[in-house]
Amino acid sequence: MSDEEMMEGGVQKKFCYINRKAPYGTIYALESLEVVLIGAAFEQDVSLIFMDDGVFQITKGQDTAGIGMKNFSPTYRALEMYDVEKLYVSEESLAERGLTADDLLVDVEVLNAEQIRDLMEQQDVILSF
Amino acid sequence: MLHTVNKSPYEKNTFESCIKHAAKGSAVLLIEDGVYAVLKGSAAAAKVQQAMGDITFYALEPDVNARGLKGKVMDGINLVDYAGFVDLTVKFDRVQSWL
Amino acid sequence: MKFTIQVNEGPYTHQASDTAYNFVKAALEAGHEIYRVFFYHDGVNNATRLTTPPQDDRNVVNRWSELAAKHNLDLVVCVAAAQRRGIADADEAKRNGKDADNIAPGFRISGLGQLIEGGIQSDRLVVFGD
């Protein structure tokens, strides 16, 4: 194993979080974000993919005042401070929903299906939510 | 890579999203309500058939039988039990559970 | 081979916990090591000993406890998810001023780091959920 692969306290793996569910209707998006935040402390190589309804997690303009739930969308903007910087979004999922990258509240890299396929194949651990 | 799908193709887009993103040479294991995709003569079975060249399909036999699909599974589907499920996760480097 | 298993759904509503249990049993029978089973989201409801299914049904919670005892499994319940859903061990109950705990034998409550660590230490992470 190369030095690059060795981190303090052990191995560095490629962790990929796949987010396919919309926020608020179910808790998966929120609790997935909690895993990402805690996981950041482990200094792994982390990627987040937003696809299917998961793209709705990071759209601008969320206002939860009327449903009495916490709006956790600003937290995605804080991911950078946790060194979680590889955010990818499915081009097709955006297009299907009439969205573009301008509708999103974080900087992302937009990938087509083939690129997402390749990205997933490079991972060591995939956490699906 | 091994993909698992546990949703009926008629309920969610999980199955479709999976086959769209499964690389050539990968395997898809249908479990729980995912097994409805391999019902012979169904709309989803046609999609499975189309993807079969690049992807190997498996279905969890206990789930197939529980849902009354025994003998109604389309040709070309490999039936496995839980031990076979475990073997597949060993054979492929990683598992992506499409939920 | 070393596995970590993530269970995202509670018992009875969704099949996920049953599938995970059958998978873990088959993996153990094949001689593999289960490094950890991590219960998240509603999966934490697999850990309440107050579960009382009808007698002719399987007892999902007891089944996990028995498998843990037999194979010395590490069944970990996420603390944040557990607090939200009212799953507590004696320490947690005391800390949060509750009048009772309800965790079943063989389960322990710990942080999300245990899931990440499981992913790092294991050869495979397999997720069961909805």
Angle separating helix axes B14-21 and A113-121, nearest 10 degrees: 80
C111–A42 C-beta distance less than 8 A: no
Segments in chain A forming alpha helices (H): 28-39, 74-78, 91-96, 113-121
A109 lies within 8 A of chain C by CB: no
**Given this model, what pLDDT does residue A4 score?**
45
- The shortest C-alpha distance from C66 to chain B (Å) reads 19
Q: What is the mean pLDDT of chain A?
A: 93
For chain C, the DSSP string reads: -EEEEEE-S-TTTSTHHHHHHHHHHHHHHTT-EEEEEEE-GGGGGGGBTT----TTS--HHHHHHHHHHHHT--EEEEHHHHHHHT---HHHHHHTT-S---BPTTEEEE-THHHHHHHHHSSEEEEE--
**Nearest 5°: phi and psi at C122?**
-100, 160
Backbone angles phi, psi at A38, to 5 degrees: -70, -40
User: pLDDT tens-digit profile of B3-26?
Assistant: 999 999 999 999 999 999 999 999
Lowest mean pLDDT of A2-11, B52-61, B69-78, name the range: A2-11
Contact between residue C81 and residue C44 where contact means Cβ atoms under 8 Å apart: yes
At residue B78, the pLDDT reads 98
* Chains touching A, CB cut-off 8 Å, 3+ pairs: B, C
Instruction: Record the tokens describing residue C106, joined without a space.
Output: 């063989």
Q: What is the mean pLDDT of residues C32-48?
A: 98
> At residue A6, does pLDDT exceed 90?
no
Cβ pair A129:B94 closer than 8 A: no
Chain B residues closer than 8 Å to A116 by CB: 21
A58 vs A129, residue with greater confidence: A58
Shortest CB distance from C22 goes to which of B82, B87, B89?
Answer: B82
Amino acid at C4: T
How far C89 CA lies from chain A's nearest CA (Å)? 21
Q: What is the pLDDT of residues B41-68, one digit of tens each?
A: 999 999 999 999 999 999 999 999 999 9
pLDDT at C32 over 60: yes
Reference B57, options B72, B47, B67, B66; nearest CA is B47
The torsion angles phi and psi of B55, rounded to 5 degrees, stand at -120, 140
pLDDT score, position A11: 78
Once rounded to an integer, what is the mean pLDDT over residues A30-58? 97
> Does A43 touch chain C if contact means CB atoms closer than 8 Å?
no
Show the tokens assigned to C4: 């970590």
What pLDDT sits at residue B20?
96
C-chain CB neighbours of A127 within 8 Å are 6, 115, 119, 125, 127
Chain B CA closest to residue C22: B82
The pTM score is 0.96
Question: What's the pLDDT band for A9 if we cut at 50, 70, 90?
Answer: low
Separation CA A129–CA A27 (nearest Å) = 10
Instruction: Measure A27 CA to nearest chain B CA, in Å.
Output: 14
Q: CA nearest A21 in B: which residue?
A: B99
pLDDT of C49-79, one tens digit each? 999 999 999 999 999 999 999 999 999 999 9
Q: Where are the beta strands (DSSP E) in chain B?
A: 2-5, 27-30, 56-60, 78-80, 95-98
Residue pair C106/A32 in contact by the 8 Å Cβ criterion: no
> Which residue in this structure is represented by tokens 């039990």?
B81
- Residue A115's nearest CA partner among A86, A89, A79, A83 is A89
> Which position among C68, C78, C79, C82 bears the catalytic label?
C78
Of A10, A41, A128, the CB nearest to C127: A128
pLDDT of A3 over the 50 cut: no
Residue C30 CA to residue A119 CA, distance in Å, equals 31
**What is the pLDDT averaged over residues A57-76?**
98
Indicate whether A5 pLDDT > 50.
no
Q: Catalytic: C42?
A: no
Q: What is the pLDDT of residues A70-98, one digit of tens each?
A: 999 999 999 999 999 999 999 999 999 99
**Which residues of C are less than 8 Å from B33 in CB distance?**
15
Q: What does the alpha-carbon distance between residue A60 and residue A74 come to, in Å, rounded to a whole number?
A: 9
